Amino acid sequence: MASQTRESGGALKRVVSSLTAVEIGIAAVLIAVIFLAVLVQSFQRYLPFSGLPWTGELSQFSLVWLTFVAAGVLVTRDGHIALQVVDNLKSERAVRAFHVLAHVIVAVIAILFAWQCVALIATSSILTSPSMGMNMSLHYVLPFVGFVSTAIRSVVASVVVARHGVEAAHESDALAIQVNREVQS
């Protein structure tokens, strides 16, 4: 039974790692799109004819998409906004309770935002963006994916923290540089 638990935990880690890689890949593409669109915009200023008006809109949309696609990854890697004051409490139970509560709140808010994205996807099909002419329903697809990812990862993080404590949650898929914890020497 213990080997099945380890295998399913290993499978879950592989799934989370794969999803993280996909989300980071999408984020990297969006950063490249932002860079190229802004670069084209800056070159267009010096051309004697009117440039491509959609480059500014594309870079703005890409920044929005990047923000929401990367949100779930931040939850898994514990890179989201945190209150370090709580981590300094002497009671491990209190720290654990605060972290579980924070993850549950993030999950609930992400679910509500995903729900609103579904409503926007359903009702925005008659609208198009001014410069690109993109159907605005498409604009809300990546934020929806990001909110669903954030909600699922927050629920999983709250369960991990509740079962194993805060340090176990910090070790899952962690970044090499921890931005919200002091470096232990």
**Are the C-beta atoms of 65 and 30 separated by less than 8 Å?**
yes
Q: What is the CA radius of gyration of the chain?
A: 20
**DSSP 8-class letter at 182:** P
108-113 long-range contacts, Cβ below 8 Å, gap at least 24? 110/71, 110/147, 110/148, 110/150, 110/151, 110/154, 111/147, 111/151, 113/143, 113/147
Please give the full DSSP string across 106-160, using - where no structure is assigned.
HHHHHHHHHHHHHHHHHH-TT-B-TTT--BHHHHTHHHHHHHHHHHHHHHHHHHH
Give the pLDDT confidence score for residue 98 in this predicted structure: 87
Q: Which of 45, 181, 69, 60 is nearest to 131 (CA)?
A: 60
Q: Which residues contact 36 (CB under 8 A, 6 or more apart)?
A: none
Q: Is 165 left (phi over 0), alpha (psi -120 to 50) or beta?
A: left
**23 near 176, Cβ under 8 Å?**
no
Provide block-wise average pLDDT over 10 residues at a time, the chain (185 residues): 53 83 94 96 85 90 95 82 70 86 94 97 93 94 95 90 72 42 44
CA distance 61 to 76: 24
For residues 106 and 112, is the Cβ–Cβ distance under 8 A? no
Helix axes 54-76, 92-123, angle to 10 degrees: 150
Q: What is the pTM of this model?
A: 0.79
Question: Is-contact 7 133, C-beta < 8 A?
Answer: no
